[in-house]
Amino acid sequence: MTHLATLYQTDYAQWAQRNAELLRARRFEEQLIISALASAWDDGRDLAIRETGLDPDPDRFPEDILYRLEQSFDPDSWPPASSPSPFGKAPPFRRYI
């Protein structure tokens, strides 16, 4: 093996090691951000429960979300439009449960 090939292998090994270290650091930072967002969500939910007096009943809120936005995409279930529209139906409606 030539001296140049040995240098190339050494450089590649150092590059691969550094790349692995950067990837581990990035994953750690992502986990910190995810953890912080989850904590903020929990704090906001707890504040909403205290302020509104709502109790998050697990039977009523199975996803552990106080309010969930529902939107129907089934055109046959839409109510008739009050004014003529190109599609003959009203747009989807939003409902808070």
Task: For the chain, give every domain's residue range.
Answer: 1-54, 67-97
Q: Residue holding tokens 């969500």? A: 41
The string of pLDDT tens digits covering residues 38-97 is 888 777 777 777 777 766 655 555 454 444 444 445 555 555 555 455 555 555 555 555
Give the integer Cα–Cα distance in Å for 69 and 49.
18
Cα 8 to Cα 3, 13, 69: the distances in Å are 9, 9, 57
Helix (H) or strand (E) holding 94: strand 94-96
Strand partners, 94: 71
- pTM for the predicted model, two decimal places: 0.36
Half-sphere exposure of 71 (CA within 13 A, CB side): 5
